[in-house]
Structures are given as structure tokens and as C-alpha cells.
């Protein structure tokens, strides 16, 4: 497998998870249900965590979706 030059990046913390820099690659995914569907969103987050996902991203597309994340 050929190697390629990587540019240096800085790391950032998402909670206690370090991403970028010299940190190991993190497994990430994103939910696929409307943010207002709290039960569906939580089910997807649990499923991803059980599968070994390090980070689950959730889109909040509108102001009406914000209370679901309280």
C-alpha cells in the first residue's frame, strides 16, 4: 500500500474524545431521524454506541427542534 504525506492538523476535544492531530481515528456517524423524534434519535444513538461508535452527530435544523435536546 503506497504511503502519502499527511498534513499536520491540530487536535480538538469533543467532550473527552480527542479528534485530529495524532489521535487515533474515531468512528463517527450521524442520526437519520428528525430531531423532534426524541425516541427515534435516542434509539439510533444507543444502536451506534452498541456497535462501537465513538461519536454520534445530530442535526438540529430548526429552532423548533431545540427543545428535543434539552
Tens digits of per-residue pLDDT, 41-70? 889 999 999 999 999 998 888 888 788 777
The pLDDT tens digits for 19-42 are 988 899 999 999 998 878 888 988
Q: Looking at beta carbons, which pairs linking 26-29 to residues 24 or more positions away fall under 8 Å?
A: 26/54, 26/55, 27/52, 27/53, 27/54, 27/55, 28/53, 28/54, 28/55, 28/56, 28/57, 29/53, 29/55, 29/56, 29/57
Q: What is the predicted pLDDT for the residue at 1?
A: 63
For residue 9, pLDDT beyond 90: no
For the full predicted model, state whether its pTM sits above 0.85.
Answer: no
Higher-confidence position of 10 and 61: 10
Amino acid at each position: 500500500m503506497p504511503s502519502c504525506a499527511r498534513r499536520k492538523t491540530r487536535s480538538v476535544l469533543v467532550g473527552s474524545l480527542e479528534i485530529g492531530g495524532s489521535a487515533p481515528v474515531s468512528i463517527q456517524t450521524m442520526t437519520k431521524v428528525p430531531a423532534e423524534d426524541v425516541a427515534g434519535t435516542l434509539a439510533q444513538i444507543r444502536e451506534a454506541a452498541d456497535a462501537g461508535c465513538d461519536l454520534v452527530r445530530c442535526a438540529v435544523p430548526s429552532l423548533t427542534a431545540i427543545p428535543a435536546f434539552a
